[in-house]
Amino acid sequence: MNTTSVPVIAIDGPTASGKGTVAHRVAERLGFHYLDSGALYRLTALSALRRGIDLKDEHALAKLAAGLPCRFVGEEVWLANENVTAAIRAEEVGNTASKIAALPNVRHALVGLQLGFRTTPGLVADGRDMGTVIFPHAVLKIFLTASVEARAQRRYKQLIDKGFSANMQDLLKDLRERDERDSKRAIAPLKPADDAHVLDTSGMTAEEAVDCVLQHYAEVKKSA
Protein backbone atom coordinates (compact mmCIF):
# COMPACT_ATOMS: atom_id res chain seq x y z
CA MET A 1 0.00 0.00 0.00
CA ASN A 2 1.23 3.51 -0.79
CA THR A 3 1.12 5.31 2.54
CA THR A 4 2.55 8.67 1.47
CA SER A 5 -0.93 10.22 1.48
CA VAL A 6 -1.56 9.17 5.11
CA PRO A 7 -1.32 12.34 7.26
CA VAL A 8 1.45 12.47 9.84
CA ILE A 9 1.64 14.89 12.76
CA ALA A 10 5.23 15.03 14.01
CA ILE A 11 5.71 16.02 17.65
CA ASP A 12 9.34 16.44 18.65
CA GLY A 13 11.00 17.85 21.72
CA PRO A 14 13.39 17.24 24.61
CA THR A 15 12.95 14.58 27.23
CA ALA A 16 10.12 15.16 29.74
CA SER A 17 8.68 18.04 27.70
CA GLY A 18 5.27 16.36 27.94
CA LYS A 19 5.29 15.30 24.30
CA GLY A 20 4.43 11.68 25.14
CA THR A 21 1.22 12.66 26.93
CA VAL A 22 0.32 15.33 24.39
CA ALA A 23 1.04 13.16 21.32
CA HIS A 24 -0.90 10.26 22.80
CA ARG A 25 -3.98 12.38 23.55
CA VAL A 26 -3.87 14.09 20.13
CA ALA A 27 -3.80 10.62 18.52
CA GLU A 28 -6.75 9.54 20.65
CA ARG A 29 -8.80 12.64 19.83
CA LEU A 30 -8.20 12.20 16.08
CA GLY A 31 -8.47 8.39 16.08
CA PHE A 32 -4.91 8.23 14.68
CA HIS A 33 -2.18 5.68 15.36
CA TYR A 34 0.60 6.66 17.75
CA LEU A 35 4.32 6.09 17.43
CA ASP A 36 6.49 6.50 20.53
CA SER A 37 9.84 6.41 18.75
CA GLY A 38 11.73 6.91 22.03
CA ALA A 39 10.37 3.54 23.15
CA LEU A 40 12.28 1.90 20.28
CA TYR A 41 15.57 3.40 21.50
CA ARG A 42 14.64 2.44 25.05
CA LEU A 43 13.83 -1.14 24.00
CA THR A 44 17.18 -1.42 22.24
CA ALA A 45 18.89 -0.01 25.34
CA LEU A 46 17.09 -2.39 27.72
CA SER A 47 17.95 -5.36 25.53
CA ALA A 48 21.59 -4.29 25.28
CA LEU A 49 21.92 -3.79 29.05
CA ARG A 50 20.42 -7.19 29.75
CA ARG A 51 22.68 -8.93 27.27
CA GLY A 52 25.74 -7.08 28.51
CA ILE A 53 26.50 -5.69 25.06
CA ASP A 54 29.34 -3.17 25.02
CA LEU A 55 27.69 0.24 24.46
CA LYS A 56 30.49 1.13 22.04
CA ASP A 57 29.87 -1.94 19.87
CA GLU A 58 27.83 -0.16 17.20
CA HIS A 59 27.59 -3.20 14.96
CA ALA A 60 26.11 -5.43 17.71
CA LEU A 61 23.73 -2.68 18.84
CA ALA A 62 22.49 -2.03 15.29
CA LYS A 63 21.92 -5.75 14.82
CA LEU A 64 19.93 -5.83 18.05
CA ALA A 65 17.83 -2.82 16.94
CA ALA A 66 17.15 -4.31 13.51
CA GLY A 67 15.75 -7.50 15.03
CA LEU A 68 13.86 -6.09 18.02
CA PRO A 69 10.98 -8.47 18.82
CA CYS A 70 8.76 -5.61 20.01
CA ARG A 71 5.01 -5.15 20.06
CA PHE A 72 2.84 -2.23 21.07
CA VAL A 73 -0.45 -3.34 22.59
CA GLY A 74 -2.58 -0.33 23.53
CA GLU A 75 -0.42 1.52 26.06
CA GLU A 76 1.75 -1.52 26.75
CA VAL A 77 5.18 -2.19 25.30
CA TRP A 78 6.27 -5.81 24.90
CA LEU A 79 9.69 -7.30 24.22
CA ALA A 80 9.20 -10.88 23.03
CA ASN A 81 6.98 -12.40 25.75
CA GLU A 82 7.61 -9.81 28.43
CA ASN A 83 5.64 -6.68 29.26
CA VAL A 84 8.41 -4.07 29.62
CA THR A 85 6.19 -0.97 29.79
CA ALA A 86 7.59 0.03 33.22
CA ALA A 87 11.11 -1.36 32.75
CA ILE A 88 11.90 0.85 29.74
CA ARG A 89 11.03 3.99 31.77
CA ALA A 90 13.85 3.49 34.29
CA GLU A 91 16.41 6.33 34.26
CA GLU A 92 19.31 3.98 33.48
CA VAL A 93 17.47 2.76 30.39
CA GLY A 94 16.70 6.34 29.29
CA ASN A 95 20.32 7.39 29.70
CA THR A 96 21.56 4.37 27.78
CA ALA A 97 18.96 5.04 25.06
CA SER A 98 20.28 8.58 24.69
CA LYS A 99 23.85 7.23 24.30
CA ILE A 100 23.08 4.57 21.72
CA ALA A 101 20.76 6.95 19.82
CA ALA A 102 23.89 8.88 18.81
CA LEU A 103 25.11 5.88 16.78
CA PRO A 104 24.21 6.26 13.07
CA ASN A 105 23.81 2.53 12.45
CA VAL A 106 21.42 2.13 15.36
CA ARG A 107 19.28 5.01 14.03
CA HIS A 108 19.39 3.56 10.55
CA ALA A 109 18.30 0.12 11.83
CA LEU A 110 15.14 1.64 13.35
CA VAL A 111 13.98 3.64 10.31
CA GLY A 112 11.89 0.93 8.61
CA LEU A 113 10.13 0.03 11.84
CA GLN A 114 9.11 3.69 12.34
CA LEU A 115 7.89 4.19 8.76
CA GLY A 116 5.70 1.10 9.19
CA PHE A 117 3.54 2.96 11.72
CA ARG A 118 2.22 5.26 8.98
CA THR A 119 -1.13 3.64 8.26
CA THR A 120 -4.64 4.99 7.70
CA PRO A 121 -6.33 7.05 8.97
CA GLY A 122 -3.20 8.88 10.22
CA LEU A 123 -0.26 8.91 12.58
CA VAL A 124 0.96 11.03 15.45
CA ALA A 125 4.70 10.41 15.74
CA ASP A 126 6.56 11.45 18.88
CA GLY A 127 10.35 11.75 19.15
CA ARG A 128 13.35 13.92 18.37
CA ASP A 129 13.68 13.65 14.59
CA MET A 130 10.13 12.89 13.45
CA GLY A 131 9.76 16.19 11.57
CA THR A 132 13.39 16.53 10.49
CA VAL A 133 14.38 13.02 9.37
CA ILE A 134 11.76 10.26 9.57
CA PHE A 135 8.67 12.14 8.33
CA PRO A 136 10.03 15.29 6.64
CA HIS A 137 6.73 15.70 4.75
CA ALA A 138 4.53 15.56 7.85
CA VAL A 139 1.47 17.80 7.38
CA LEU A 140 2.05 19.34 10.80
CA LYS A 141 5.26 19.62 12.82
CA ILE A 142 5.24 20.65 16.46
CA PHE A 143 8.31 21.19 18.61
CA LEU A 144 7.23 20.92 22.24
CA THR A 145 9.55 22.33 24.81
CA ALA A 146 9.55 23.49 28.45
CA SER A 147 12.13 24.85 30.87
CA VAL A 148 14.52 22.29 32.36
CA GLU A 149 13.03 22.99 35.82
CA ALA A 150 9.45 22.35 34.66
CA ARG A 151 10.58 19.15 32.94
CA ALA A 152 12.48 17.93 36.02
CA GLN A 153 9.34 18.53 38.12
CA ARG A 154 7.23 16.49 35.70
CA ARG A 155 9.76 13.68 35.53
CA TYR A 156 9.97 13.64 39.35
CA LYS A 157 6.21 13.27 39.65
CA GLN A 158 6.10 10.57 36.93
CA LEU A 159 8.80 8.50 38.66
CA ILE A 160 7.29 8.80 42.14
CA ASP A 161 3.82 7.94 40.78
CA LYS A 162 5.30 4.80 39.21
CA GLY A 163 6.94 3.75 42.48
CA PHE A 164 10.55 4.60 41.46
CA SER A 165 12.73 6.68 43.78
CA ALA A 166 13.81 10.10 42.52
CA ASN A 167 15.98 13.04 43.51
CA MET A 168 15.41 16.52 42.04
CA GLN A 169 19.10 17.51 41.84
CA ASP A 170 20.03 14.25 40.09
CA LEU A 171 17.11 14.66 37.68
CA LEU A 172 18.13 18.22 36.77
CA LYS A 173 21.69 17.06 36.14
CA ASP A 174 20.53 14.07 34.05
CA LEU A 175 18.15 16.19 31.97
CA ARG A 176 20.84 18.79 31.24
CA GLU A 177 23.29 16.07 30.22
CA ARG A 178 20.71 14.32 28.07
CA ASP A 179 19.65 17.59 26.38
CA GLU A 180 23.29 18.32 25.64
CA ARG A 181 23.88 14.84 24.16
CA ASP A 182 20.61 14.75 22.18
CA SER A 183 21.09 18.22 20.68
CA LYS A 184 24.84 18.12 20.01
CA ARG A 185 25.06 14.72 18.32
CA ALA A 186 26.19 14.72 14.70
CA ILE A 187 23.29 12.66 13.37
CA ALA A 188 19.62 13.68 13.62
CA PRO A 189 20.19 16.10 16.52
CA LEU A 190 17.28 17.37 18.57
CA LYS A 191 16.24 20.63 16.91
CA PRO A 192 13.01 22.08 15.55
CA ALA A 193 12.40 21.53 11.83
CA ASP A 194 12.47 24.83 9.91
CA ASP A 195 8.71 24.54 9.38
CA ALA A 196 7.84 23.44 12.94
CA HIS A 197 5.58 25.35 15.35
CA VAL A 198 7.49 25.76 18.61
CA LEU A 199 5.25 25.35 21.66
CA ASP A 200 6.60 26.15 25.15
CA THR A 201 4.48 24.15 27.60
CA SER A 202 6.18 25.33 30.85
CA GLY A 203 3.03 27.13 32.02
CA MET A 204 0.48 24.95 30.22
CA THR A 205 -1.53 21.95 31.24
CA ALA A 206 -1.34 18.90 28.99
CA GLU A 207 -4.93 19.54 27.87
CA GLU A 208 -4.08 23.12 26.82
CA ALA A 209 -1.14 21.84 24.79
CA VAL A 210 -3.37 19.18 23.17
CA ASP A 211 -5.94 21.83 22.20
CA CYS A 212 -3.20 23.98 20.73
CA VAL A 213 -1.92 21.11 18.54
CA LEU A 214 -5.47 20.27 17.44
CA GLN A 215 -6.06 23.91 16.50
CA HIS A 216 -2.94 23.88 14.33
CA TYR A 217 -4.13 20.66 12.70
CA ALA A 218 -7.59 22.13 12.02
CA GLU A 219 -5.88 25.06 10.26
CA VAL A 220 -3.74 22.68 8.19
CA LYS A 221 -6.85 20.80 7.09
CA LYS A 222 -8.72 24.02 6.28
CA SER A 223 -5.94 25.23 4.00
CA ALA A 224 -5.43 21.84 2.30
Least distance CB 151 / ligand DC (angstroms): 10
- Of 30 and 125, the one with the shorter C-beta distance to ligand DC is 125
Least distance CB 41 / ligand DC (angstroms): 3
Least distance CB 218 / ligand DC (angstroms): 26
- Of 11 and 218, the one with the shorter C-beta distance to ligand DC is 11
- Of 21 and 37, the one with the shorter C-beta distance to ligand DC is 37
| Amino acid present at 5 | S
- Of 7 and 38, the one with the shorter C-beta distance to ligand DC is 38
**In this structure, are residues 182 and 189 in contact, taking their beta carbons and an 8 Å threshold?**
yes
- Of 175 and 204, the one with the shorter C-beta distance to ligand DC is 175
Q: Reply yes or no: is the peptide bond before residue 7 cis, omega within 30 of 0.
A: no
Least distance CB 110 / ligand DC (angstroms): 8
Query: Shortest CA distance to 40 belongs to which of 60, 61, 25?
Result: 61
**In this structure, are residues 13 and 145 in contact, taking their beta carbons and an 8 Å threshold?**
yes
Which phi and psi angles does 111 have, rounded to 5°?
A: -65, -50
Measured between alpha carbons, how far is 126 from 143 in angstroms, rounded to an integer? 10
Least distance CB 207 / ligand DC (angstroms): 21
Chain contacts with ligand DC (rule: CB under 6 A): 15, 37-38, 41-42, 94, 97-98, 101, 127-129, 178, 182
**DSSP letter for each residue of 143-204:** EEE--HHHHHHHHHHHHHHTT----HHHHHHHHHHHHHHHHH-SSS-S---TTPEEEE-TT-
- Of 47 and 98, the one with the shorter C-beta distance to ligand DC is 98
Least distance CB 183 / ligand DC (angstroms): 10
Measured between alpha carbons, how far is 172 from 170 in angstroms, rounded to an integer? 6
**In this structure, are residues 94 and 158 in contact, taking their beta carbons and an 8 Å threshold?**
no
